Amino acid sequence: MIRLIGILVGLGFTSAVLWAFGVGAYTFATEPAEETAEHAFHLHPKDVSFPSDGPFGKFDRRELQRGYQVYKEVCAACHGLHLVAFRDLEALGYSEAQVKAAAAEWTVPGIDPNTGEATTRPGVPTDYFPSPYANDTAARAANNNAIPPDLSLITKARHDGGAYLYSLLTGYSEMPAEMAAEFPEFSTPTGLYFNRYFPNLNLAMPPPLSEGQVTYADGTEATVEQMSKDVSAFLIWAAEPTLEKRLQTGWAVIGFLLFATVLAWFAKQQVWAPLKPKKKA
Amino acid sequence: MSFPWAKPYEPKAPLMRYLDEKLPLPRLVFNAIGAGYPVPRNLSYMWNFGVLAGFCLVLQIVTGIILAMHYAPNAAVAFNSTEHIMRDVNWGWMLRYAHANGASAFFVVIYLHIFRGFFYGSYKPPREMVWLLGVVIFLLLMATAFMGYVLPWGQMSFWGAKVITGLFGAIPLVGEPLQIWLLGGFAPDNAALNRFFSLHYLLPFVIVGAVILHIWALHIPGSSNPTGVEVKTESDTVPFHPYFTAKDGFGLAVFLLLYCTMLFFLPNALGHPDNYIPANPMATPAHIVPEWYFWPFYAILRAFTVDFILPAKLWGVLAMFASILVWFFLPWLDKSPVRSGHYRPLFRKFFVVLVIDMGFLFWLGGAAAEEPYVMMSQIATAYYFLHFLVILPIISMIERPDPLPFSITEAVLGSDDDKAVLATTPAS
Predicted confidence (pLDDT) per residue in B248-294, tens digit: 999 999 999 999 999 999 999 999 999 999 999 999 998 899 999 99
- Of B70, B219, B287, B419, the catalytic one is B219
Q: Is the pLDDT of residue B375 over 60?
A: yes
Residues of chain B above pLDDT 70, percent: 97
DSSP three-state, residue B164: helix
Q: Mutating which of A2, A11, A18, A21 best tests the B interface, going by the most B Cβ atoms within 10 A?
A: A21
Q: How far apart are CA A212 and CA B288, in angstroms?
A: 41
Option in B260, B319, B386 nearest A257 (CB): B260
Option in B246, B257, B413 nearest A271 (CB): B246
Does B257 sit within 8 Å of A261, measured CB to CB?
Answer: yes
Nearest to A43 by CA among A196, A182, A207, A225: A196
Mean pLDDT throughout B395-402?
Answer: 92
Does A21 sit within 8 Å of B378, measured CB to CB?
Answer: yes
Does A23 sit within 8 Å of B306, measured CB to CB?
Answer: yes
What pLDDT, on the 0 to 100 scale, is given for residue A280?
Answer: 52
What pLDDT, on the 0 to 100 scale, is given for residue B428?
Answer: 42
**Predicted model pTM:** 0.94
Q: Is the pLDDT of residue B129 over 60?
A: yes
What pLDDT, on the 0 to 100 scale, is given for residue B425?
Answer: 54
- Of B113, B162, B200, B247, the catalytic one is B247
Option in B249, B306, B308 nearest A267 (CB): B249
What pLDDT, on the 0 to 100 scale, is given for residue A104?
Answer: 96
Residue B385 lies in a domain: yes
Domain limits for position B69 = 39-228+238-285
Q: Is the pLDDT of residue B426 over 60?
A: no
Half-sphere CA count of B377, side-chain side, radius 13 A = 29
Same domain, B279 and B309: no
Q: Please, what is the average pLDDT of chain B?
A: 93
A252 touches chain B (CB under 8 A): no
Same domain, B257 and B319: no
Cβ contact A130:A137 at 8 Å: no
Does A19 sit within 8 Å of B306, measured CB to CB?
Answer: yes
Listed in sequence order, the residues at least 6 apart from B9 whose beta carbon sits closer than 8 Å to its beta carbon are B20, B26, B27, B30, B31, B36
Q: How far apart are CA B253 and CA A265, in angstroms?
A: 9
Query: Would you give the distance in Å from CA A14 to the centre of its chain?
Result: 42
Nearest Cα of chain B lies from the Cα of A213 at a distance, in angstroms, of: 30
Residue B12 lies in a domain: no
Does B253 sit within 8 Å of A260, measured CB to CB?
Answer: yes
Give burial (CB, 10 Å; 0-12/13-18/19+) of A104. Answer: middle
Nearest Cα of chain B lies from the Cα of A15 at a distance, in angstroms, of: 8
What pLDDT, on the 0 to 100 scale, is given for residue B427?
Answer: 46
Count interface pairs A-B at CB distance under 8 A: 169
A10 touches chain B (CB under 8 A): yes
Residues of B in contact with A28 (CB under 8 A): 371-372, 375
Please report, for the domain that includes residue B85, its CATH number.
1.20.810.10
What pLDDT, on the 0 to 100 scale, is given for residue B371?
Answer: 82
Q: Mutating which of B44, B87, B289 best tests the A interface, going by the most A Cβ atoms within 10 A?
A: B87
Same domain, B259 and B388: no
Same domain, B167 and B95: yes
Amino acid letter at A224? V
> What DSSP designation does B40 have?
E
Which tens digit of pLDDT belongs to each residue from B167-190? 888 888 898 999 999 999 999 999
Per the annotation, the verdict on B247 as an active-site residue is yes
Nearest to B114 by CA among B123, B126, B103: B123
Same domain, B88 and B206: yes
What pLDDT, on the 0 to 100 scale, is given for residue B224?
Answer: 94
Residue B29 lies in a domain: no
Option in B375, B381, B382 nearest A28 (CB): B375
Amino acid letter at A19? W
Assign B98 a pLDDT band (cuts: 50, 70, 90). Answer: very high
What pLDDT, on the 0 to 100 scale, is given for residue A83?
Answer: 97
Per the annotation, the verdict on B223 as an active-site residue is yes
Strand partners, B310: B308
Q: Which strand (E) or helix (H) includes residue B382?
A: helix B373-386
Same domain, B117 and B194: yes
> What DSSP designation does B278 have?
B
Same domain, B269 and B304: no
Fold of A38-42+57-84+129-198+218-243: Cytochrome Bc1 Complex; Chain D, domain 2 (1.10.760)
Query: What phi and psi, each to the nearest 5 degrees, are found at residue A135?
Result: -160, 175
Closest residue in B to A151 (Cα) is: B277
Residue B428 lies in a domain: no
The total number of structural domains in chain B stands at 2
Does B335 sit within 8 Å of A272, measured CB to CB?
Answer: no
Same domain, B278 and B306: no
Residue B200 lies in a domain: yes
Same domain, B203 and B317: no
Which tens digit of pLDDT belongs to each residue from B146-167? 999 999 999 999 999 999 999 8
Same domain, B124 and B256: yes
Cβ contact A84:A238 at 8 Å: yes
Looking at this predicted complex, what is its ipTM? 0.93
Q: How far apart are CA A273 and CA B8, in angstroms?
A: 24
Angle subtended at Cα A234 by Cα A233 and Cα A237, rounded to the nearest 5 degrees? 90
Nearest to A211 by CA among A251, A257, A170, A259: A170
What pLDDT, on the 0 to 100 scale, is given for residue A66?
Answer: 97
Average pLDDT, 10 consecutive residues per value, chain A (281 residues):
89 93 90 84 94 95 96 96 96 96 95 92 96 93 92 96 96 90 88 92 93 92 96 97 97 98 97 77 48
Option in B308, B329, B375 nearest A25 (CB): B375
> What DSSP designation does A277 have?
P
Q: Is the pLDDT of residue B423 over 60?
A: no
Residues of chain B above pLDDT 90, percent: 85
Same domain, B248 and B303: no
Residue B334 lies in a domain: no
Same domain, B246 and B122: yes
Nearest Cα of chain A lies from the Cα of B21 at a distance, in angstroms, of: 32
Nearest to B238 by CA among B404, B117, B113, B408: B408
Q: How far apart are CA B287 and CA A41, in angstroms?
A: 20
